[in-house]
Chain A
């Protein structure tokens, strides 16, 4: 265990920033987001960012390639954004766990998504334990412990110090290169973790039951009458999907610049009317089907295909940001086997 006085965080950021690109969650207007570190920038006091940390591995828009046509010849140009090593500092346990979910889709499934894998390999994640969870948090439901945040390095704030422990080789490399860190002892971390756990247990959705959300109940859930009520006032916007750390759908589009055709991908949302539109038409013609798709994917299809791992980490962003306040907790409560 290593430690550093909180007052020396600017020195730490400068030291990391001198070697690699560093991103920290900082205030931007009224909300927080992960920003490239600049001198004088401080860690936000907010629990979490509006956009999740997935942006750093799976950006909203990304160039894939370009095509130039001369006569009968088509030239294919690699347009991959060059990626240098970077440190993603201050990721919460929920977002750190979301990388594991994205990895299942983009990294370990065949074929691997080389754009994503490239960023994952270049990134070192420093995950910061929570001390003041919000009422909208429910990561514990998915087996995530906000006091043991994972990442390549786990970090804790206890009293006036920040503590660090490396979990991976990448984490070891990062910490061993930072001469300003001192040796620290586990006791203050254990004390602060115990205090946070007591709050986590009291969270309104700490005991949310996911009983019945599995492949065996797939058709019953799919045909449930509840979807109509649940989806009736959905605006069909993409807020929930775009703030979600585990939503992974994208669209591939082309853009004619006049000189060449650029092929890029951008996030897509199952809530949109043209999502997965095919020549035969839109397979999910109304908002009910689109809404159902989002929650069936996270709560039933994904775990059924991924060893029971749900496609949600309980970060609570959709609870805070949905314009009509419809969200996964309300869906679970309305459809679950245990009426809660």
Chain B
């Protein structure tokens, strides 16, 4: 796949379709790829990498890139194309300035899972069938590739490319029983106290680096309310643990109905907080209350939270679903 992608990138540059290509640049190790803009064949030959560590979703970069002169090519995996569509729907990307190459994907690996499986001092990796053979400073470690998949890939929602100018490889279908709401169902089954305790524990690790927000393709405000000292709620440092929870919950509300469940928030969290579960709870609720809806699946459907129907759920649905009246 990497060779196909590199050849395509060079072809698009040299036939004048685009003047630059957004891709993954080789790092110091095999796993630390950095999103980069390539403008020449030489740069692509030397540094362009596509591997199971090409997890970064480029859709959000296109908000800025598409506002520059010329045209940019972007390689988008199926889940990235959902984010791309959603951004188009919100008029955040100038479509004519982007050439999307949709690429099939079998799932991305998470280097932290490889570390957690006991590999220390990781120097290299070889793929051998179902296993990954990891070379380390302390000898080789063999791990099952399926167990090293990123959380979002373990319950991938779709292998289908929903936006592209051209495709590389054969994409697949929407996955009906992805199991992505299983963890949410477990949380729903908890008592309110247990659930509060779960989130208190997880969010207590938050260092408020804002990486979840800054990487999120649904968070594209020019100035975030939390960065705006005139907003009255800018909280660079949370005064207490309540404010910390408030940040994440407000963010989840803000992206509700627009979050495509791309999973970037949890991928970048330095503290491994399962932030995607907050978003998935909203997606599950929207599915249950307003009918199945997948944001980013297309650019036309009216989003349930921006639509009005007479039979829409009204706030008292909280009680119908087991909420207690104080």
Contacts and interface: CB of A to CB of B under 8 A. Distances in A.
Contacts, number: 134
Contacts of A253: 236-237
Given A233-B61, A251-B237, A133 B32 contact: no
Contact of A237 (B116, B211, B234, B237): B211
Contacts of A327: 32
- Of the candidates B137, B227, B272, the one having the most CB atoms from chain A within 10 angstroms of its own CB is B137
Contacts of B152: none
B215 A204 contact: no
Contact of B270 (A134, A203, A243): A243
A242 B137 contact: no
Interface string A41-73: 000000100110000000011000000000000
Given A237-B215, A238-B209, A61 B270 contact: no
Interface in B250-284: 267-268, 270-273
Nearest to A275: B236
B205 interface: yes
Interface stretch (A29-37, A106-114, A140-148): A29-37
B174 interface: no
Interface residues of B, number: 45
A324 B56 contact: yes
Nearest to B237: A266
B209 to A, nearest CB: 4
B120 A267 contact: no
B133 interface: no
Interface string B122-142: 110000000000001110000
A333 B29 CA distance: 14
Contact of A30 (B29, B37, B116, B123): B116
A29 B205 contact: yes
Given A237-B214, A323-B268, A135 B236 contact: no
Contacts of A31: 205, 270-272
B121 A324 contact: no
A235 B211 contact: yes
A8 interface: no
Nearest to B113: A30
Interface in B33-57: 33-37, 56
A251 B236 contact: yes
A60 B208 contact: yes
A237 B210 contact: yes
B120 A61 contact: no
Given A205-B28, A264-B239, A272-B227, A29 B35 contact: no
B166 interface: no
Nearest to A30: B272
Nearest to A321: B270
9 contacts: A31-B205, A242-B209, A243-B207, A243-B209, A269-B209, A274-B229, A323-B267, A323-B268, A326-B34
Given A135-B122, A253-B236, A325-B32, 6 more contacts: A132-B137, A134-B121, A135-B121, A135-B137, A237-B211, A239-B268
Interface of A: 28-31, 33, 47, 50-51, 60-61, 132-135, 199, 202-205, 229, 232-233, 235-239, 241-243, 251, 253, 255, 262, 264-269, 272-274, 277, 319, 321, 323-327, 329-330, 333
